[in-house]
Amino acid sequence: MTTKNLIFDPQLIRRFDINGPRYTSYPTADRFVEAFDASALQDWLGKRAVGGMSRPLSLYFHIPFCNTICYYCACNKIITKDHARSSKYLKYLAKEIEMQAARLGGTKQVTQLHLGGGTPTFLSHEEMQQLLDSVRAHFNLVPNGEYSIEVDPRKVGYDTIAFLSDLGFNRMSVGVQDFAEDVQEAVNRIQSFEETKLVIDAARTTGFRSISLDLIYGLPKQNVISFNRTIEQVLELAPDRISLYSYAHLPGLFKPQRRIIPIQLPSADSKLQILQLAIRRLTEAGYVYIGMDHFAKPDDELTVAQRQGRLHRNFQGYSTQAECDLLAFGVSAIGKIGPVYSQNVKTLDEYYDALDQDELPVLRGIELTADDLLRRSIIQALMCHFELSIQSIEIAHLIDFRSYFAEELADLAEMEAAGLVKMDGDWISVMPAGRLLVRGIAMIFDRYLRADRERARYSRVI
């Protein structure tokens, strides 16, 4: 199957479908170290203004609460119906906001904000107002910034969507996964097309600029025929962006997945056929394959950013905001300031204990070396633009590319012979047949993976 920028070749996919990271960061979060602690983050927060340079800010808030459990979920979440828990969490979140802001050098201009989870819409209207008030007390949210929230259509109506719009949210990510009822029952997420459509229609009516919809392929009881019906319903909703994620069944790592019956999962071949169908249907409907599970309409900002070479990748996926420092708040949240990443503690008790002691709740992090920064720029270019200028890397990082990456280029030759990449003079280009496998191509430049070939911790590329 061929589209303008994508070739689906089942044989190549089977050959190169290995376990590997998703590269929302490089180095990946499993490489962070506990030697990077609260004092290290504090230092870097203060260094932002050194030399008069100060990037705009992106803010991420992790809201871990959910009313019910979805069996496929691999997120850090807490299943509860008790709003006393979210009320307490917001008090501590306000303290973390205040502490990070107090230590922050440079501008407090925010151009991007995202609420993820968990289920951010678990919060009541009063709690959501309280959170945004805390943010605005310490940061300046610029007009027309990107302010997004993940929404569970099963729990909200028109009034909540209108309220979120009034608060300043203008982008929305809506979880669907699959509309087939037997699939929904198998993963414990019952959600009708009608309630999903109500939320999306409400978002358009109340001024949301962009609506993204999440699907998962490889779930129990899925097949090509039923998923084709789901795709038809998705196309009727006509979201601006679609994320099509591969379900990674890792019950040893994620306890809720133990409730999924393995025999109900589609075979590897069936899963490939579902993916092939989805790609064909979406691209025929005019969606552009951005890369790594993401599709967008031709006039969407992501598509435009990719055409113009401005696309970026961070912990929320693809982004148009390449130059931001990312401040992260809440349990397990990951931030990025200049050449460092940091991740918060993962449990509520640890989070509350750290803040009670007036300490930033940092679990671990990493300060990138010159080699890390070099490899990060290569992996970003491959993941976002499917091509890499050797000369621009040499100029930016003062290296001789071919001698520095002699081993990597030798490994890349096998992929070139298979038609996944093309090495032509000063350029390395990911060919249409390699675009679905770009994670595997990026892995060649991952120094940590080259040193340790242990990949079982990662999901498969497809």
SS3 275: helix
End residue of a domain, out of 269, 304, 328? 328
In this predicted structure, what is the pLDDT of residue 338?
Answer: 87
Examine the domain organization and report whether 62 and 16 are in the same domain. Answer: no
Q: What pLDDT is attached to residue 2? A: 43
Residue partners of 435: CB distance under 8 A and separation at least 6:
5, 6, 7, 289, 291, 386
9 is in an annotated binding site: no
pTM: 0.92
Q: What pLDDT was estimated at residue 129?
A: 98
- 11 annotated ligand-binding residue: no
pLDDT at site 402: 95
196 is in an annotated binding site: no
Report whether 70 belongs to an annotated binding site.
Answer: yes
- How many other CB atoms are found less than 10 A from the CB of residue 228? 14
Task: Report the pLDDT value the prediction gives residue 107, as an integer from 0 to 100.
Answer: 84
Question: Binding residue per annotation — 334?
Answer: yes
313 in a known ligand binding site: no
Q: How far, CA to CA in Å, does 442 sit from each of 56, 97, 338? A: 28, 35, 22
- Could you tell me if 271 and 218 are in contact, meaning their C-beta atoms sit under 8 angstroms apart? yes
The pLDDT of residue 1 is 47
Q: Are residues 106 and 156 in the same domain?
A: yes
**Distance (Å, rounded) from C-alpha 64 to C-alpha 70?**
13
Q: Do 45 and 4 lie in a common domain? A: no
> Residue 281 corresponds to which amino acid?
R
Per-residue pLDDT tens digits of the chain, which is 462 residues long: 445 578 888 888 888 887 788 888 899 999 999 999 999 999 999 988 776 567 889 999 999 999 999 999 988 899 999 989 999 999 999 999 999 999 998 889 999 999 999 999 999 999 999 999 999 999 999 998 999 999 999 989 999 999 999 999 999 999 999 999 999 999 999 999 999 999 999 999 999 999 999 999 999 999 999 999 999 999 999 999 999 999 989 898 889 999 999 999 999 899 999 999 999 999 999 999 998 789 999 999 999 988 888 888 877 778 887 778 999 999 999 999 989 999 999 999 999 999 999 999 999 999 999 999 999 999 999 999 999 999 999 999 999 999 999 999 999 999 999 999 999 989 999 999 999 899 999 999 999 988 775 555 566 767
* Residue 66 known to bind ligand: yes
DSSP H or E stretch at residue 117: strand 109-117
Q: Quick one: pLDDT at residue 293?
A: 86
Residue 84 marked as a ligand binder: no
Helical ranges in 24-106 per DSSP H: 38-47, 83-103
Q: Is 177 annotated as a binding residue?
A: yes
> Half-sphere exposure of 356 toward its Cβ, with a 13 Å CA cutoff?
8
392 plus 267 within the same structural domain? no
Residue 200 shares a structural domain with residue 268: yes
Q: Residue 127 to residues 93, 331, 352, 379, 431: CA-CA distances in angstroms?
A: 11, 17, 18, 39, 48
Residue 73, marked binder: yes
b/e string for 114-133 if b means 16 or more Cβ within 10 A?
A: bbbbbbbbbbeeebbebbbe
Residue at 342 is within a domain: no
What's the total number of domains in the chain? 2
118 appears as a binding residue in the annotation: yes
The pLDDT assigned to 320 comes to 82
Instruction: Specify the pLDDT at position 53.
Output: 61
Q: Is 317 annotated for ligand binding?
A: no
At 258, which CATH number?
3.80.30.20
Residue at a domain's end among 299, 328, 357: 328
Which residue range forms the structural domain that includes residue 107?
A: 28-328
Is residue 181 located within the same domain as residue 308?
yes
Q: Say yes or no: 296 and 421 in one domain.
A: no
In a domain, 389, yes or no: yes
Is 92 within any annotated ligand binding site?
Answer: no
